[in-house]
A = this chain, B = another copy of it.
């Protein structure tokens, strides 16, 4: 057989996700509202809510006022019913956040990594320390940590928990989860930041309750997470979404991937800095060794109508829009989300320019269907997405039958005669 075997169980899992998503999004809510929002029958919603109650993921929190008639029972996320941890391993830092079940950040730990620290053991050490730290800070008991999602750049084998290739450290087939498991006792889940951001948007962001979505990630690196058909599109070897190395300019700038003119070299933070330097080598906006400071300065510059800043952002938006228009034509998504720190920092001015430029490039019909937005997620989307992987893991590992409290009542009748 070819593609994954679909079974009725997948429907159940998807519905369970959907209901929980809805509850998290709108926290005191009633079964009626859930049924309306998900399109499921009241009975199904009731059983799913029952499951989630049994798992202590949600609790009953009173009743709605009624104007004649039995009042609706309200359920809400049981914020103290568990904790989820998201780990964002990046090139220069490790960030770990601990969330309650409403996905509020309860604790955060950042560890900087010096340029030399590229051995897996060193990275694992930082992660373990930070995870220990957030658990202590938040004061949760270990037993309540439902899982730890880990995001590591590059190519990932999620089932095996292996970082197959991490370009920044030249890792090859590092069994990251096994190494982490020696220090961390909670269930571990591995994936990469592109997919973490995408799943964060799917659960809590601009893709929630919408159709096909492209999550465009603008950070130091660039990539796209694809939410197609209601779920993450992973491709056949879990490496879909490598959009950063799409050729944008034939024979353009040299990229570290070896090709020329990749999207990433124009709209990634280093590419933006390069453009700024080319335009105005002496610009006060430029902080040569600090991407974050430079992008921050650019954003302020745009607000102050600094012509250089405006031009840099506009040019960046045009490059970006050329790429996004191609995505819109190819995939015909309902939503395109601009995510990650560069997008968050440059914000509305970037968005406006991108919208205009995409409108000039894309075909009419797919364009009409596509809405381009900034990510509405206020915190670090990678940590949030990583934690979401842990949440999904915890939810999908419910398979034990409800235990059917059958006393041993001579179940199988003896053969009569």
Q: Decide: A365 and B239 in contact? CB cutoff 8 A.
A: yes
The interface size bin for chain A is 35 or more
The one of B18, B235, B329 that contacts A243, using a Cβ cutoff of 8 Å: B329
The one of B4, B250, B327, B361 that contacts A248, using a Cβ cutoff of 8 Å: B250
Residues in chain B near residue A3, CB distance under 8 A: 211-212, 229-230
A224 within 8 A of B: yes
The one of B7, B233, B246, B333 that contacts A228, using a Cβ cutoff of 8 Å: B233
Do A330 and B242 form a contact, CB below 8 Å, given A229-B228, A233-B229, A361-B259? yes
Task: Return A171 CB to nearest CB of chain B, in Å.
Answer: 13
Q: Decide: B233 and A331 in contact? CB cutoff 8 A.
A: yes
Q: Decide: A2 and B330 in contact? CB cutoff 8 A.
A: no
Q: Decide: B7 and A11 in contact? CB cutoff 8 A.
A: yes
A334 within 8 A of B: yes
Closest to A234 in B: B332
Residues in chain B near residue A368, CB distance under 8 A: 237
A6 within 8 A of B: yes
Q: Decide: A1 and B250 in contact? CB cutoff 8 A.
A: no
Task: Return A216 CB to nearest CB of chain B, in Å.
Answer: 12
Task: Return A124 CB to nearest CB of chain B, in Å.
Answer: 23
Residues in chain B near residue A6, CB distance under 8 A: 10-11, 14, 230
Closest to A327 in B: B330
Q: Decide: A241 and B330 in contact? CB cutoff 8 A.
A: yes
| Chain B proximity mask over A363-375: 1 for CB below 8 Å, otherwise 0 | 1111011000000
A407 within 8 A of B: no
Number of identical monomers bound together in the oligomeric complex? 2
Task: Return A142 CB to nearest CB of chain B, in Å.
Answer: 36
Residues in chain B near residue A174, CB distance under 8 A: none
Q: Decide: B329 and A246 in contact? CB cutoff 8 A.
A: yes
Residues in chain B near residue A211, CB distance under 8 A: 2-3, 236
The one of B10, B245, B322, B369 that contacts A236, using a Cβ cutoff of 8 Å: B369
Contacting B at CB under 8 A, from A247-296, are 247-250, 252, 257, 259
Task: Return A162 CB to nearest CB of chain B, in Å.
Answer: 12
Q: Decide: A247 and B248 in contact? CB cutoff 8 A.
A: yes
Q: Decide: B246 and A330 in contact? CB cutoff 8 A.
A: yes
Q: Decide: A240 and B330 in contact? CB cutoff 8 A.
A: yes
A363 to B165: give the CA distance in the assembly, Å: 11
Residues in chain B near residue A221, CB distance under 8 A: none
The one of B242, B327, B332 that contacts A239, using a Cβ cutoff of 8 Å: B332
Q: Decide: A2 and B364 in contact? CB cutoff 8 A.
A: no
A409 within 8 A of B: no
Q: Decide: A326 and B234 in contact? CB cutoff 8 A.
A: no
Q: Decide: A333 and B165 in contact? CB cutoff 8 A.
A: no
| Chain B proximity mask over A18-53: 1 for CB below 8 Å, otherwise 0 | 100000000000000000011100000000000000
Q: Decide: A332 and B235 in contact? CB cutoff 8 A.
A: yes
28 pairs across A/B with beta carbons < 8 Å?
A: A1-B39, A4-B229, A7-B11, A155-B365, A165-B364, A165-B365, A212-B236, A228-B228, A228-B233, A229-B229, A233-B331, A237-B366, A239-B332, A239-B363, A240-B330, A240-B332, A241-B330, A242-B363, A243-B330, A246-B329, A246-B330, A247-B248, A247-B325, A247-B326, A249-B250, A259-B361, A327-B330, A330-B330
Residues of A near any B CB (own CB < 8 A):
1-8, 10-11, 14, 18, 37-39, 155, 164-165, 208-212, 224, 226, 228-230, 233-243, 245-250, 252, 257, 259, 322, 325-327, 329-334, 361, 363-366, 368-369
